[in-house]
Amino acid sequence: MIIGKDIIQQNNKIEVGNFNSDFAYLSDKLTKSGANVSEIVNKIADFQVAIPSWALGAGGTRFGRFSYGGEPSSLEQKLDDVGLIHALTHSAGAISLHIPWDIPNDVAAIKEKAASHGLIFDAMNSNTFQDQPNAKQSYKFGSLNAANEEARAYAVEHNKEVIRIGKELDSKSLTVWLADGASFPGQLNFQTALSKTEQSLKEIYSDLPEDWKLFIEYKPYEPNFYSTTIQDWGTSFMLANACGERAYTLVDLGHHLPNSNIEQIVATLMYKGKLGGFHFNDSKYGDDDLTVGSIKPYALFLIFNELVYGIENNPNNPYPAWMIDASHNIKDPLEDLIQSLEAILIAYAQALLVDQKSLKDAQLNNDVVRAQEILQNAYRTDVRPLLKAARLQTGAALDPIAAYRNLKVRENLISERGLNVKATGL
Ligand code: AOS
Ligand code: ZN
Ligand code: ZN
Ligand code: ZN
């Protein structure tokens, strides 16, 4: 199924009347308060978030998985799904692949398909947290941190292979997320595990092309319940520094202990020019990988406030790579991703509304009340007309979920692909 611009335009007619009056009202209000509305709309229109290939089918928990009809079962179909989301939103212009789940058979055909949907290949993801069929070494007791030298070398080689595949696809980065750690005290020598990890990452880094970046993800728990070798941003930051200039920390929103001040972590990393990538999701308890903004939208806004500040004030920090890292257990994955994109752009737009000059002023005068008012004024603005304006500008759907349903996208996918297909991945 392909959704052309003409169909979207046709569909937008239902909504455009309401949009015009909502936008006129908001734009007038914001302009009076000194905001540059067209600049903000352009920034929203330009903001692109990568969709991970493994988020397009139904996820699951260790207790069960309920499949979703019409799931993509090949890399081509995954590209088609991201293409559909991008056509409806114009904010998902990239896909993030996972090796070995997404090894391309025909590189040229895959590149052509991606280009036909206007997609680029974002970060490549390696997988040393599972043993593949016919694996020559096991990662049961670790991969990049493994005490067993053969297993460690095998894991390093896998990452180099992922870089080779990514180069063919014109990807420009590698994300390393490790499950390495210990389930019980005494299982690992912390220092040895950390030094092996550092050595392995340096070996991978030495293979990184000049125009590539290495993103090092961290996570405090799960699957190793007692300790994880790269447990927090400090460990990731230290390892990135040990590797070199093109190695960065990647922040995944779900990878923190409860109540961590993620916005402060973002600020610290950007101050040092080391925030390379970002995984969006939301959670109630841990790494729940729920729809972005479904649980803690104010926290998301505060994080975006730091991201926007950092993008403007830390030229030493590269523009971060954005990705949604979520799991869809009961919702239609494509609808869930569209909801996530909406939440991301809402938080971004609200952060763009923060009056940075007045905020600085309030801070200098220790006017705590005023500082809070400034942030909350932005947060409490219904910015959705700005998102719609951006979408109208780029030929996307005013209301992407409504369009998805009106155009019967899922029904079409089910009739094309069948009811009982399973996406490759987690
Ligand atoms: C795992 O918890 C991490 O969030 C990873 O970023 C990702 O979900 C995994 O690498 C999927 O392959
Ligand atoms: Zn992640
Ligand atoms: Zn995660
Ligand atoms: Zn997560």
Q: Give me ligand 2 centre to Cα 251, in Å.
A: 8
Cis bond upstream, residue 100 (ω within 30): yes
Query: Crossing angle for the helix pair 233-243 and 262-271, nearest 10 degrees?
Result: 20
- Best CA proximity match to 126, nearest among 86, 176, 92: 176
DSSP β-ladder status, 181-182 and 227-228: antiparallel
- φ, ψ of residue 250 to 5 degrees: the values are -115, 130
Looking up tokens 């402060």 gives 264
Domains and their CATH numbers in the chain: 31-417 (3.20.20.150)
Q: Which atom of ligand 1 is nearest to the CA of 219?
A: 2
Q: Which residues surround ligand 4, an ion (CB under 5 A)?
A: 254, 281, 287, 289
Q: Which helix (H) or strand (E) holds 311?
A: helix 297-313
Model ipTM value: 0.96
50 φ/ψ angles, rounded to the nearest 5 degrees: -75, 145
Q: How far apart are CA 229 and CA 243, in angstroms?
A: 16
- The amino acid present at 422, given as its one-letter code, is K
Residue nearest to atom 3 of ligand 1 (CA): 177
- Going from the Cα of 34 to the center of ligand 2, the distance in angstroms, rounded, reads 37
For ligand 1, say whether the CB of 256 is within 6 Å of any of its atoms.
no
Preceding omega of 333 cis (within 30 degrees of 0): no
Closest-CA residue, ligand 1 atom 10, reads: 177
**Span from the CA of 61 to the centroid of ligand 3 (angstroms):** 13
To test ligand 1's pocket by mutation, which of 61, 125, 249 has the most ligand atoms within 8 angstroms of CB? 125
| Residue 218 Cβ contacting ligand 1 at under 6 Å | no
Which amino acid residue places its CA nearest to atom 9 of ligand 1? 177
How much distance in Å is there from the Cα of 24 to the middle of ligand 1? 42
CA 250–ligand 2 middle distance (angstroms): 8
What local confidence, expressed as pLDDT, does residue 60 receive? 86
Handedness of CA 364, 365, 369, 375 (dihedral sign): negative
What residues pack around ion ligand 3 (CB closer than 5 A)?
A: 287
Interval between CA 177 and ligand 1 midpoint (Å): 6
Ligand nearest to the CA of 281: 4
Q: List per-residue pLDDT tens for the chain, 426 residues long.
A: 899 999 999 999 999 999 999 999 999 999 999 999 999 999 999 999 999 999 999 988 888 888 889 999 999 999 999 999 999 999 999 999 999 999 999 999 999 999 999 999 999 999 999 999 999 999 999 999 999 999 999 999 999 999 999 999 999 999 999 999 999 999 999 999 999 999 999 999 999 999 999 999 999 999 999 999 999 999 999 999 999 999 999 999 999 999 999 999 999 999 999 999 999 999 999 999 999 999 999 999 999 999 999 999 999 999 999 999 999 899 999 999 999 999 999 999 999 999 999 999 999 999 999 999 999 999 999 999 999 999 999 999 999 999 999 999 999 999 999 998 776 666
How many angstroms separate the first and last alpha carbons of the chain? Answer: 25
The token duo for 318 is 């590269």
Is 232 touching ligand 1 by the criterion CB < 6 Å? no
Secondary structure of residue 221 in the 3-state scheme: coil
List residues, by chain if needed, whose CB lies under 5 Å from ion ligand 2. Answer: 252, 279, 325
Residue 425 is predicted with a pLDDT of 65
Cα–Cα dist 155/313, whole Å: 38
**Which residue's C-alpha comes closest to atom 1 of ligand 1?**
177
Question: What is the per-residue pLDDT for 274?
Answer: 99
- Phi then psi for residue 134, to 5 deg, are 70, 15
Give me the DSSP letters along 122-171: --EE---SSPPTT-SS--TT-STT-SSHHHHHHHHHHHHHHHHHHHHTT-
What's the CA-to-centroid distance between 416 and ligand 3, angstroms?
31
**How far apart (Å, rounded) are the C-alpha atoms in residues 263 and 255?**
13
Tokens of 84: 């559909």
Q: Torsions phi, psi of 275, nearest 5?
A: -90, 105
60 Cα to the center of ligand 1, angstroms: 14
